[in-house]
Amino acid sequence: MDLLLIIIPAILIMVSQWYINSSYAKYNEYEVESGITGSKAAREILNANGLSDVKIVKIEGTLTDNFNPTNNTISLSNDIYSGSSVAAIAVAAHECGHVIQHKEKYAPIVMRSALVPVVNIASKLGYAIMIVGVLSSIFNMAIIGLVLMCATLIFQLVTLPTEFDASNRAKKQLIKLGIITKKELPKVSSMLYAAAMTYLASFFASFTQMLRLFLQINRRNN
């Protein structure tokens, strides 16, 4: 059983990474008809939603794109920032979706932001408590530690709707502003779906890891 709970999450992560990388490589080959770059598409979306104060910067890496609400900045990787592919437009618009979520105080994104400091503390403290509990053979302490570690699982669960919602917002904005055509929408949707699957795989991988730890602690107690 333990071996299975190690193999399953490893396979999930590998498959999801293969899926996002292959999808990115595929849709990076398709240029959008408008010829607009990811950074310009992002600026159009932001301006159209009264978010002209949000900065857009270029960063290194591949698919390292993110929105940081603390400094109100969207960071786009090189190919996304300068590229005019379906992949570039989809990813850039997705990050704008997160900005709009913050502006509208979308409940899951507000909850996710509030959980960040809690998760950082709870996961580290929980791991230490669990280890002490296991080494001391104090079952209740080990379980308390594991419960605290599950804060990461809750964080990942709350993240899921924010990612899917950001993608839906992205597609609506791209069509509304004429950045993509309706015939390009299926390709954008496929790219965004592949990205969302990585978050789903991470959640299930974390869940199986917590289940494995619980079974191990329970066996030691018995």
Tell me which residues are annotated as active site: 95
Phi/psi class of residue 59: alpha, beta or left (left: φ > 0; alpha: ψ in -120 to 50)? beta
Tally Cβ neighbours within 10 Å of residue 29: 9
CA distance 45 to 41: 6
Q: Output the CA angle 56-200-185, nearest 5 degrees.
A: 55
Nearest to 96 by CA among 46, 27, 49: 46
**How far is Cα 6 from Cα 59, in angstroms, rounded to an integer?**
34
User: Tokens in use for 101?
Assistant: 């979520």
Listed in sequence order, the residues at least 6 apart from 15 whose beta carbon sits closer than 8 Å to its beta carbon are 201
- Would you say 187 and 113 are in contact if contact means Cβ atoms under 8 Å apart? no
In angstroms, rounded to a whole number, what is the distance separating the alpha carbons of residues 221 and 70?
44
First to last CA, the chain: 17
Residues in the chain: 222
